[in-house]
Structure 1
Amino acid sequence: MQVKMAKNYGFCFGVKRAIEIAQKNKDSLTLGSLIHNPKEIERLERDFNVRVQDDVGAIESHSSVIIRTHGIPKNDLALLKEKGAHIIDATCPYVIKPQQIVEKMSAKGYQIVLFGDANHPEVKGVISYSSTPPLVVNSLEELQGKKLGKKVTLVSQTTKQTPKLLEIANFLITRCAEVRIFNTICNATFDNQEAVRELSQEVDVMIIVGGRTSSNTKQLFHIAKEFCTDSYLVEDFNDLDPAWFRGKRLCGISAGASTPDWIIEGVREQIAGF
């Protein structure tokens, strides 16, 4: 089986930075999973004793706590400070940006519209900085019929697709007196998505490697599926099914921003051997 890798894939700047921070701070806790890749989380716990704690209330005073790449809600951060925790901030700078925008614009009286998944930790963290009631929508359809203010600020989860953000922006512009639009989709996300869009039109089968709970990985998979019907999402080589590759000539591979090279290489080697 011939294999072709996407032009851009795998670890982004924010994830690389977070992994390096975790490895330098052995025996620490992370409030929630540091990144959305269970295999890499297992490696950090096994090799560096960096453990996940999902309940901020269960963290003991003066513990060393790493803030996940997706950030945490403002109240959780305040609670950690009250506990006297040693806070090590691994929040991606691209996530800090929408937090700051939401805090600033809501203080000026703007209604916040956030394009994203309401259940995603990044989104929960960002909207916690809003002093006005925020509106979170995952599609243009979800926005239609919602009550909108005269002054609106639009931001996006960092891993969303730019064309869909533009759809929402156009909708708001025709219905609100004032709309402030901030493109908070990170460059790495855009580059990875464009690379998948291009490669999935060339190949017979497409494999996306990454955590199943990773937003940016799922976005890559949805884009691949648009252009290549035989597209599959796997966490590592154990998820590969030889039947997917029968009668196929060329396989494309991409990976989410929180997928380490050692997992990607394992998938590539397995497919090349079919």
Structure 2
Amino acid sequence: MKIKMAKNYGFCFGVKRAIQIAEKTKDSVTLGSLIHNPKEISRLQLKFGVKVEENTQAISNGQNVIIRTHGIPKTDLEYLRSQDIQITDATCPYVTKPQQIVESMSKEGYQIIIFGDKTHPEVKGVMSYSTTKPLVISSLEVLKKANVKKKVALVSQTTKQAQNLLQIASYLITHCYETRVFNTICNATFDNQESARELSKEVDIMIIIGGKTSSNTKQLLNIAQQNCPDSYLVEDENDLQHEWFLGKHLCGITAGASTPDWIIDKVKEKILSI
């Protein structure tokens, strides 16, 4: 069994920055999971005392709070600022960008359309910056059934696929009087996706490493499966199954933007031992 790594994979700028902040701000609290990787969250808690709190109201005065990479709703941020709480903002700059665009465009009277998952914390945060009710769509098919106004502004969840955003933008341009399109897909996400697409065309089996709740990791799996049906998502080496590798000769590996190197190395070692 030979292993070939994707050209681009693993930690992105925003995640690296957030991890560094958490390691320096010991015994702090993150509002929601800092990143979507439970193994790395456990490491931060055990080694640096970083705890996760889902409820904003449960955070007490005097605590050090780290804002997650995905950002938080505007009302939650305003509440924290009104209290005696030390805030460290680890929101990824690529997430801050659509927040600012949505706030500005909605104030100018544009209907806000967000291409993303309505239940994802990043999208929830972006939605909260719109001064009018935004339209969140998960696909072009959903958009076609929605009530779209003549003056719209389109942004995307940072981890979506560029070709899908392009399809949605093309539809809006041909159906609306005025369409403002903002490409808010993260560069690292785009590079990782393209690398996964290229590698999946070469290999017998593809392993994608990352949190199973991570949007960008699930996108990598979806892309890989289009070219390599034997593609699997694992959180760590314990998820690997021997039967996956029967009759395989070349294994491709990529990893989501929230996956640390220490997990990737353990997966590689386990595959080589099979």
Same fold (TM over 0.5): yes
The corresponding residue for 2:19 is 19
By how many angstroms is 1:84 displaced? 2.0
Deviations 1:217-259 (A, max 9, x none): 0000000000000000000000000000000000000000000
**Structure 1 length-normalised TM:** 0.99
Q: Partners of 2:76 and 2:61 in 1: how far apart?
A: 14
Deviations 1:131-181 (A, max 9, x none): 011000111111112111111000000000000000100111111100000
Quick one: which amino acid aligns to residue 205 of structure 2? V
SS of equivalent to 2:247: coil
User: How many pairs were matched up?
Assistant: 274
Deviations 1:179-212 (A, max 9, x none): 0000000100000000000000000000000000
The corresponding residue for 2:131 is 131
The corresponding residue for 1:200 is 200
Deviations 1:85-143 (A, max 9, x none): 11000000000000000000000000000000000000000010000110001111111
Q: Partners of 1:87 and 1:111 in 2: how far apart?
A: 32
Matches for 1:17-166 after TM superposition, within 5 Å: 17-166=17-166
Q: Partners of 2:17 and 2:223 in 1: how far apart?
A: 27
Quote the RMSD (CA, aligned, Å): 0.5
SS of equivalent to 1:174: helix
Matches for 1:241-256 after TM superposition, within 5 Å: 241-256=241-256
Quick one: which amino acid aligns to residue 47 of structure 1? K
SS of equivalent to 1:95: helix
**Structure 2 length-normalised TM:** 0.99
Q: Partners of 2:62 and 2:150 in 1: how far apart?
A: 45
Structure 1 runs, 4 residues or longer, greater than 6 Å off:
none
Quick one: which amino acid aligns to residue 130 of structure 2? S
Q: Which runs of 5+ in 1 are unaligned?
A: none
Q: Percent identity at matched positions?
A: 68
SS of equivalent to 1:232: strand
Quick one: which amino acid aligns to residue 2 of structure 1? K
Quick one: which amino acid aligns to residue 67 of structure 1? I
